[in-house]
Amino acid sequence: MNPHVPGLNEIITSLRGSFELALGRTSGLSHFENSFDAFWRSFAVIFLVAPIYLMQVLAERSNLLTGGLIDPETYSSSLYFWVKAGVLVIDWFAFPVLMVAIARLLNLTARYGIYITVFNWSSLLIVLVLTPAFVAWTLGIVGDFLANILTLGILMLVLRFRWFIAREVLGAPPVTAAGLVLAEFLMSILINQSGNRLIGI
């Protein structure tokens, strides 16, 4: 196995583990390798997430142009693309970096590596689950109201999923796990909003 790049078998196994954890089954943890190499390979999952994310970004820009919310002459597709790409990269690494300090503060460093490994892989599952709803909205199969309801419902499941990972994988107490989920959620919103300001949304 390449120590730096996840192979197909690891991708399939990790998605299976993520799915089991999403269902509230701690058995899903057995599908993840708890090692230094696996920890670093999990950051390469961004290359699997990025094509899906950037496809959504371009579709989002198209909808914003149609709605007259951005000026195509001021905010070109390349600017929009690169700002959003930067947002993805910053968002991807910000929480794991923050968790280094938090894990030390809360005496949770023993499980930090496997927690971040699972956290990164779970992001791929989350993106895959969100994609059908986004595609349906982009193609006009569902309207804005229904799309927002679907997104809100999926978001609640995602937050519960993240809480379960923090609780069972990191070993954090329930209230602490909830705080970690909230911190990651708010940080992600802040990073994305900062990117939107650069674009002019």
Token code pair at residue 176: 């602490």
Q: What is the pLDDT of residues 36-51, one digit of tens each?
A: 999 999 999 999 999 8
The Cβ-side half-sphere exposure at 166, using a 13 Å CA radius, reads 25
Q: What is the pLDDT of residues 112-156, one digit of tens each?
A: 999 999 999 999 999 988 887 777 777 777 677 777 788 788 889
6 within 8 A of 41, measured Cβ to Cβ? yes
> What is the reported pTM?
0.89
Give the pLDDT confidence score for residue 181 in this predicted structure: 96
